[in-house]
Structure 1
Amino acid sequence: MVRREPREPMPGCYPVSFGEVDLLRDLDRPSGWVISKDGVPQSYVDLEDPTYLDFEYVRLMADVIDLMTEGPLDAVHIGGCACTLPRYVAATRPGSRQIVAEPDGDLVQLVRDHLRLKSVPRLKVRIADGRSATAGLHDSSADLFVLDAFSGATMPIDLATGEYMGDVARVLRPAGTLLVNIADGKGLVFARRVLATIGGTFRHLALLAEPGVLRGRRFGNLIVAASRAELPLAGLTRKAAGGLTQARCLHGEDLSRFVAGAPPLNDGDPVVVPVPPPAVFG
């Protein structure tokens, strides 16, 4: 049998189910590729080195994953794009079984065609929105649940409510870990409400972000780690402070003060989802 060489990615603008995306080559890394939508970077992958994580917030999520119990993971990822974290998990924890839910079928096909998605072992991609995909998962079937779903630069509000967090908890095993990527800016009103919501379901929480974002001085990503079991807080604090991002890890009383007074989100609640200023993405 003749083995086919992987197709060479072709940079350009491509139509997808929900608009258009740009596939861009990283001029500094020949095997690095970025998917961008409406000028907002959505995913970065290095086709030769899946452990290389270019986006700072993704490195923070990987730090949490690295501190989980050794061995393969059963992982769920809500929000796929180029599947950066699933590639990382497959490379660092061989034998892991992973499910990705991504509602944009044409985007998934683009990633298959250009970014070697089929090369990721034991990965299943389902064309579905986050709530529908989660509802179809078995009870206590996941060690890791990653919620990194965005429409452009905003988080779908139906994936931030108490009702949805209850379904996520159903899918996670008792010691399982939830990772949530939140984007917010001045005042961090939305982030505080999401944290209050997650805290209504998961007892143990930690918040990871760069100091400038954590103080609400600029728009950026904040990573929530949550579990019904204790989190490796010492390790998270050390990794956050020692990484390239120089991030902080809030937990315990500091996190309680951060969240204090923020009302949780429920289905149907009115909420203003933060949108980044135009200058954020240049």
Structure 2
Amino acid sequence: MSGRRRGPRSIVEPTDFGQAELIPETERPGCWTLLIDGLPQSHVDLLHPARLHFDYLRWIGYVIDAAAAQRHPLRVLHLGGGALALPRFTAATRPGSAQLVIERDAALMMLVRRVLPLPARSGIRVRHAEACATVTAMAAGRYDLVIADFPAMPSSLGHEVARLLRPGGCYAANLLARPKPYVPVGFHDVCLIADPNVLRGRRDGNIVLAACLDAPLQTDRLASAIAREPQPVRLQPI
């Protein structure tokens, strides 16, 4: 009688700024969760990268979907890398996109790319650098979309992001604090996506900020996508 085949095991390694753990899902081959210092940070599905399992990642995915016509390639800047779930999603849903990921934790990126390799010719480049300093030094008008998801995000980041965007460009940020200090100036439309109780301040949770530089946000498309969420989610213009 043959022995039962074992799946991949969890991998725990120190990184430049903490301890990372990659946990595979035995029931869903190709699915991994990234923990940093014991806290869930990201989730990837290597076989189906267009599926985003974490709620806040799905919400940002809706902003990516609404940023341009379906499957239209984009130039995207990611500030914060994690397990590269959102770059993988963009590469799968918008083939031909050119994406740059800025991540200060070089050891984390080495681990992620070794265990969860990017597909060939993905159009995803990773640069090991500090996000805010990199944004300040970049030339203006380079990107269709900027996505920010990293610790200690400064409230001034939105102003720098606006400078990097092309006309009609969009900005999405994962906020882990009350949104008021982060509301960017100079954008045509700004809204928040979150659990209603989080927006009311009744409990903590992720809040995704979405903004469009000089054109209306595609709020109808966002609202339609959010309506399919399994749990209550609100789209709140501000």
Query: Structure 2 stretches of 5 or more lacking a match?
Result: 1-6
**Which digits, 9 at most, give the CA deviation of each residue in 1:236-275, with x for residues without a partner?**
2222122234311111xxx3xxxxxxxxxxxxxxxxxxxx
Shift of 1:28: 3.0
Name the structure 2 match of 1:262.
Answer: none
Query: Structure 1 stretches of 5 or more lacking a match?
Result: 1-7, 151-155, 185-189, 256-282
Pairs aligned (count): 229
Change (3 A) 1:91 1:47: same
State the AA in 1 paired with 2:198.
V
Moved more, 15-24 or 132-141: 132-141
Name the structure 2 match of 1:223.
Answer: 208
Name the structure 2 match of 1:160.
Answer: 154
**Which digits, 9 at most, give the CA deviation of each residue in 1:137-193, with x for residues without a partner?**
32111001000112xxxxx1xx3323x322211111120000011123xxxxx3222
CA–CA distance in 1 between the matches of 2:137 and 2:87?
20
How high is the TM-score relative to the length of structure 1? Answer: 0.77
CA–CA distance in 1 between the matches of 2:176 and 2:121?
28
Of 234, 243, 261, the residue aligned with 2:220 is 234
Name the structure 2 match of 1:20.
Answer: 19
Alignment of 1:12-51 (within 5 A): 12-51=11-50
- Higher-strand-fraction structure: 2
Which SS does the other structure have where 2:141 is aligned?
Answer: coil
Change (3 A) 1:46 1:244: same
Any runs of at least 4 consecutive aligned residues in structure 1 with deviations exceeding 4 A, and if so which?
none
CA–CA distance in 1 between the matches of 2:34 and 2:42?
5
Alignment of 1:85-100 (within 5 A): 85-100=86-101
How high is the TM-score relative to the length of structure 2? Answer: 0.90
Tell me, yes or no, if the aligned pair for 2:155 and 2:181 is still in contact at 8 Å.
no
Alignment of 1:1-282 (within 5 A): 10-70=9-69, 71-117=72-118, 119=120, 121-150=122-151, 156=152, 159-162=153-156, 164-184=157-177, 190-195=178-183, 198=184, 200-228=185-213, 229-251=215-237, 255=238
Which SS does the other structure have where 1:205 is aligned?
Answer: strand
CA–CA distance in 2 between the matches of 1:9 and 1:128?
31
Tell me, yes or no, if the aligned pair for 1:11 and 1:22 is still in contact at 8 Å.
yes
Q: Percent identity?
A: 36
Which SS does the other structure have where 2:32 is aligned?
Answer: strand
Which SS does the other structure have where 1:242 is aligned?
Answer: coil
Which SS does the other structure have where 1:62 is aligned?
Answer: helix
Change (3 A) 1:242 1:118: closer
Question: CA-atom RMSD, angstroms?
Answer: 1.7
Moved more, 96-105 or 66-75: 66-75
CA–CA distance in 1 between the matches of 2:126 and 2:150?
14
- Higher-helix-fraction structure: 1
